[in-house]
Structure 1
Amino acid sequence: MVQLMSHRLLARLQRYWKVGSRHLKKGPTFTQGGTLVSESNEKFRRQLVSGVPRERLAAARFFSSHASASDLDHLQSALANESVTWIEGALKRAIIRADPDARFQPSIVVRQQTEDDHPEGYTTQVYAEALEVTSKQILHELEPLVGSARLAASREIPNFNESKTNAILSQLNDFMAAISRLRESASPPKTEEFHLDLTIDDLIGQTECGDDVVFQVSGKRPCTVDGDRGLVTLAFKNGLKNAIEAQQPELEGGSSRIVVTWGVTDVEYWISILDDGVGFAGNIIRAFEMGRTSKANHLGMGLAIAKQSMHSMNGDVTLTPRDKGMLYHMNWPKKAR
């Protein structure tokens, strides 16, 4: 029963992923153009009344995570004049964040939308919004059920900790953790300035791997960048984990090497992870589809989460086969000055 629930929920997320991926191919992704979270919200307030739907949705999604009481009048005014369903939903969540006592009547007006409501980049925002809302709902419904199932099973099953039921429930917990990371990857970027070189050093230092894996690190120091540190971390940790799992030190004379490099160009920041492991078996493009994996006991969500993390910042993640091993490359644009 628990396995069936897990498969059905994964299938539901896969449907959202496939629909969203088709939309993403129709136009370039949209940069939030975010200011630092600690700065004034004036730019996003102006975007609330923009004539471009994708800008209004970006602003509404930002405030759904960061609104305060001082934003309430602007949000209520924007909602009163909004005609696009997805933007209305994000505005309502923003208003509830600013005023937890706010209540809304169900809408009974069905609006006819035209192509003018969907300019380039708008589908990217809608997809991210749908992914974030759906994963939140799934977690809200699933977490208490799994908790209750674990409590009941621990009371009713002898030697529960060694039982197959416990192992399956642990897999379901891993699945919920992956959904949580997926939701995080689709959230509006919280742009800040941070030290990329020190962040990479910390993440490598926190990585669990054997002494037979050697890291070779090379990049710009100091390296101060703009971006969402949490989203960069999600994507980087996935690439590093895959590189470690691909290693076969027993075939390499007792050790293997992973090379991590990073840098800055005129228009973007980038990180590359090169490994000399077993490479990738299968279609590289389909590797980023949710639920696709060639590894035993893996959910197949890691690369999908990494891809969405970078898309949320208008960046990307790519995999390139090498003569031996893989190149995992992630990049995101500099903030407009």
Structure 2
Amino acid sequence: MSMERMMIDSELKSRLHSSLPSQRAEAAEWLKTNYSPSLIPIILDALEKESVPTIRRALAVGLKLAQSGERDGICAESSKTVDTGKLISILDDLAGLIRHETDPAIGWLRRAAAREIPNFESSETNLYIETLRRRIISLETLAAAHRIPNWTRTTLYDVIRDCKPPDLESDRLIGKGIERQDYIDTDWRLMNLIVANALKNASEAALTLHPSQTEVWLETGVSDTSFWLSITNRFDGDSFDFDHVAHTGSSNKVDHKGLGISAMRMAADRLNYDLTLTATGGTAFFSLTGTRFHE
């Protein structure tokens, strides 16, 4: 083994076993584009000791790539690594482009509306513009394929308040167990993408029914270590489940290819949350569960 290789391995070991989660996360992300069969023992040792779910998942990806390199007889300098790095670069550039192209347009829209609409700040137009801005930020975050979630503390009450579609009337949303003190750690951008899509889908599906069946039921709960959130609604259509829609890209909506559900799944995977969606007997049930606090 060359002296340079030994120095790289030593630095990698040091970072993977750092007391700072940020350093361990950076090292785990580095492995995704610098994998090599020779690093497999180092990754396995780090996996055994790592307790943070997102870092464990990044290490698992690095391990899989390293093991694939071992089977194919390739290493980090191979064309496969170059292609992976290029893909990551493209996705990161796309994330930046989304923000670069939409931020000014939303600013222009907001300024024009403020000039033309009396009491703009409290208007429904302002509410819809803000909803659009949050959705675009969420998509930008999702597009950056290897960006580590930005964990911040919030409450399930605030999540629901920020994610409720403007056209979902309050009297149609029936809440249970929603407490202002139900604190959780999450990345609000990715969480917004999941919950806003789930509420929108439930609301739209229920609106196709008789006015007496358009309610959307939402329940939340927490334990010392985890949280859960569920959404239930009536719908008119065939039975389906989440895996079928996510893999086939089809749903019950006309001209709809299940892209919102795919985005929800990607965001949940990034946060290491469990997401289920089933529909049978005219009732759809969505559930999201995850670790309550991030170390």
Which category of TM-score, normalised to the shorter sequence, fits these structures?
0.5 to 0.7
Q: Structure 1's 138 and 202: CA in aligned 2 closer, same or farther, altered over 3 A? A: closer
Secondary structure of 1:189's aligned partner: coil
Q: Match of 2:166?
A: 207
Q: Match of 1:325?
A: 283
Is residue 50 from structure 1 mapped to residue 9 from structure 2 by the alignment? no
Q: Structure 1's 132 and 302: CA in aligned 2 closer, same or farther, altered over 3 A? A: farther
Over the residues paired in the alignment, what is the CA RMSD in angstroms? 4.4
Match of 1:228 among 183, 187, 195: 187
Q: Structure 1's 312 and 87: CA in aligned 2 closer, same or farther, altered over 3 A? A: farther
**Any conservation in 2 of the 1:291–1:299 contact (CA below 8 Å)?**
yes
For 2:16, the aligned partner's letter is S
Q: Match of 2:253?
A: 295
Match of 2:225 among 248, 267, 292: 267
Secondary structure of 2:150's aligned partner: coil
Q: Structure 1's 297 and 132: CA in aligned 2 closer, same or farther, altered over 3 A? A: farther
The structure showing larger relative contact order (alpha-carbon pairs under 8 Å, at least 6 residues apart) is: 1
Q: How many percent of aligned residue pairs carry the same amino acid?
A: 18
Secondary structure of 1:187's aligned partner: coil
Q: Structure 1's 142 and 241: CA in aligned 2 closer, same or farther, altered over 3 A? A: closer
Residue by residue over 1:120-169, the C-alpha shift from the partner in whole angstroms, topping out at 9 and shown as x without a partner, is 6334478999976443345679999xxxxxxxxxxxxxxxxxxxxxxxxx
**Any conservation in 2 of the 1:268–1:331 contact (CA below 8 Å)?**
yes
CA distance in 1, matches of 2:230, 2:282: 16
Alpha-carbon shift at residue 225 of structure 1 (Å): 1.3
Q: Match of 2:26?
A: 59
Provide the aligned length of Structure 1 versus Structure 2.
218
**Any conservation in 2 of the 1:131–1:183 contact (CA below 8 Å)?**
no
Normalising by the residue count of structure 1, what TM-score does the alignment of the two structures yield?
0.51
Secondary structure of 1:238's aligned partner: helix
Q: Match of 1:18?
A: none
Map residues 1-337 of structure 1 onto 2, 5 A cutoff. 49-50=15-16, 58-60=25-27, 84=31, 86=33, 111-113=36-38, 115-116=40-41, 119=44, 121=57, 122-124=59-61, 133-137=89-93, 180=140, 182-183=142-143, 187-204=147-164, 206-209=165-168, 214-221=172-179, 222-249=181-208, 251-253=209-211, 255-278=213-236, 281-282=239-240, 284-289=242-247, 291-335=249-293
Secondary structure of 1:329's aligned partner: strand
Alpha-carbon shift at residue 288 of structure 1 (Å): 1.9
List runs of 5+ in structure 1 lacking aligned partners. 1-44, 63-81, 89-110, 145-176
Structure 1 or 2: larger helix share? 2
Alpha-carbon shift at residue 328 of structure 1 (Å): 0.5
CA distance in 2, matches of 1:306, 1:185: 14
List runs of 5+ in structure 2 lacking aligned partners. 1-10, 48-56, 66-83, 101-135
Normalising by the residue count of structure 2, what TM-score does the alignment of the two structures yield?
0.57
Secondary structure of 1:246's aligned partner: helix
